[in-house]
Structure 1
């Protein structure tokens, strides 16, 4: 559903324009309603169509409440989850706490990841991408599942 890398700009109010190629899909899938939350492993944001997020949230809520790791994940992901809606210009307004978490400034990268989008600071993404490329070039770093993958 979502794929590709888009360099985008945040305006002074923290709004970003969703690429045109995604707008129609989002309108059909979820009435242009989205949910953004933090990624617990990277300093980026995860943006889901609201219907996809509801499936994920149900799974997160089903985790055992007496498991401290599960509770932390619930607090982080659900606690930061923020409803967003595309305005008439195809923009979303990102709240300051989410922008701060992901170190978002003017230049950002919106990356399609199948059923979700990731939003990165452009400079952080470029650093991380280079690290990932270095790791991939070392076969001993690849999980067994990926060693047999043919592209």
Structure 2
């Protein structure tokens, strides 16, 4: 079963990280080699339009997403909103020799990032959360009984 995850790079896990005083985060060592191989250390960060977090993609994955976004009809208000938010906030990043990336101040502000952050693996991308906001969001997810029906594609998974 294909869930649409890119084969070239795989990110999983909850990774607590500290931002330094300049707003740089170090990519955990276990991901650095695959990011350098897959995207020559180039990544793109943008805002999540649904949650107060950031999305961090290797450049090739982002290029595919941006191509799909660009192909949508911009005269549609909902599409234009997504184009402005995702593409408008997209910022190119590059791993330095120590595996660090500088997160832009406006994006750090949007996500409420301070010293303690969470890098949450999501297959072909990471989400970057403030540690406090992630903890409360995770707890809300664990306690949720909102009656949403699980999609048929997920019902066949055996965990």
Question: TM-score band (shorter)?
Answer: over 0.9
| 1:140 aligned onto 2:147 | yes
CA distance in 2, matches of 1:144, 1:61: 28
| 1:96 aligned onto 2:110 | no
Alignment partner of 2:74 out of 54, 60, 65: 65
Unaligned runs of 5+ in 2: 1-9
Structure 1 segments, 4+ long, off by >6 Å, are none
SS at match of 1:143: coil
Q: How many residues in Structure 1 have an aligned counterpart in Structure 2? A: 149
The structure with the greater share of residues assigned to strand is 1
Q: What is the match of residue 47 of structure 1?
A: 56
1:147 CA displacement? 4.6
Q: TM-score by structure 2 length?
A: 0.90
Q: What is the match of residue 7 of structure 2?
A: none
1:65 CA displacement? 1.2
Change (3 A) 1:130 1:68: same
CA distance in 1, matches of 2:155, 2:21: 44
SS at match of 1:88: coil
The structure with the greater share of residues assigned to helix is 1
CA distance in 2, matches of 1:47, 1:95: 12
Change (3 A) 1:139 1:75: closer
Q: What is the match of residue 106 of structure 1?
A: 115
Unaligned runs of 5+ in 1: none
CA distance in 1, matches of 2:130, 2:122: 16
Q: Deviations over 1:88-143 (max 9, x none)?
A: 111000110000000000000001100001100000000000010011xx383343
Q: TM-score by structure 1 length?
A: 0.94
Alignment partner of 1:115 out of 124, 127, 130: 124
What is the RMSD of the two structures over their aligned residues, measured on CA atoms? Answer: 1.3
